[in-house]
A and B are shown apart, each in its own frame.
Chain A
Amino acid sequence: NAGVTQTPKFQVLKTGQSMTLQCAQDMNHEYMSWYRQDPGMGLRLIHYSVGAGITDQGEVPNGYNVSRSTTEDFPLRLLSAAPSQTSVYFCASGLLTSGRPGELFFGEGSRLTVL
């Protein structure tokens, strides 16, 4: 059972380049989300989705785009990379449980450096 798979694990970009971080889960979870982790800042929610075709913004959505065409996949797109987007990105998924948060399952992270 693969769980939540993120690719790539490491990426270096130049300012202004675009790229997509991939996230796939094989647990049939309705809920998927993207976080960024920065030193001293904990985890900050970028975007989330509660099902195919449904996405919404989190705490820090600017500069990022998402889509959810299938239950399994939730890619995160950086439209024009900036040094401030240097971070470790985590994808997480979970079951939707009757109006409360449930356990989240995390990928191993993608470390992005923007020069």
Chain B
Amino acid sequence: AQSVTQPDIHITVSEGASLELRCNYSYGATPYLFWYVQSPGQGLQLLLKYFSGDTLVQGIKGFEAEFKRSQSSFNLRKPSVHWSDAAEYFCAVGAGGSYIPTFGRGTSLIVHP
């Protein structure tokens, strides 16, 4: 079975600074990888996904993520954070043959002005 770890429970950055949120997965074959964002009081929204091909994927709201098979990682990045990016971010991994993704425990992003 697949699993996913988000090592950071909270991340604090200043507005305008760069951001990297970590995600590590465990799965024997090529995984299907997702990042979702949850704004306060809202449901989750897909930021980006990786299924195959180019290992650097672009998403909405200026986010990107890079799949690194050698490190079993799919870290989320943004070059310049805006105050509106303050939210909870979830990494998810799925396996071939299953419709069900496994979610990480989430990373809470705090943005200081």
| Contact of A100 (CB < 8 Å), options: B32, B42, B45, B105 | B32
| Residue interface bits B71-113, CB-to-A below 8 A is 1, else 0 | 0000000000000000000101011111111011110000000
Q: Is the interface of B mostly helix, strand, loop or mixed?
A: loop
**Cα(A54)–Cα(B90), bound, Å:** 28
Output the least CB separation between A96 and chain B (Å): 6
Nearest-neighbour CB distance to chain A for B3, whole angstroms, equals: 11
- Residues of chain B within 8 A (CB-CB) of A108 are 41-43
Q: Are B44 and A100 in contact (CB under 8 A)?
A: no
Given the complex, which residues of A lie within 8 Å of B49, measured CB to CB? 103
Complex CA distance for A45 and B51, rounded to whole angstroms: 22
**B94:A100 contact, CB within 8 angstroms:** yes
Please, which residues of chain A bring their CB within 8 A of the CB of B41?
108-109
Known contacts A42-B106, A43-B90: does B43 contact A101 (CB below 8 Å)?
no
Q: How far is the CA of A21 from the CA of B104 in the complex (A)?
A: 25
Chain B 47-73 against A: per-residue CB contact (8 Å), 1 yes, 0 no?
A: 001010000000000000000000000
Please give the distance in Å from B107's CB to the nearest CB on chain A.
10
The answer to whether A90 has its CB under 8 Å from any CB of chain B is yes
Chain B residue nearest in CB terms to A91: B43
Q: Which of B32, B34, B43 contacts A90 (CB 8 A)?
A: B43
Q: Is A53 an interface residue (CB 8 A)?
A: no
B9 within 8 A of A: yes
- A-to-B contact residues, CB < 8 Å: 4, 31, 33, 35, 40-43, 45, 48, 50, 58, 90, 92, 94, 96, 99-104, 106-109
Query: Can you list 18 A-B pairs, Cβ within 8 angstroms, ordered by A?
Result: A40-B9, A40-B105, A42-B90, A42-B105, A43-B103, A90-B43, A99-B96, A99-B99, A100-B94, A100-B98, A101-B34, A101-B99, A101-B101, A102-B99, A104-B36, A106-B43, A107-B43, A109-B42
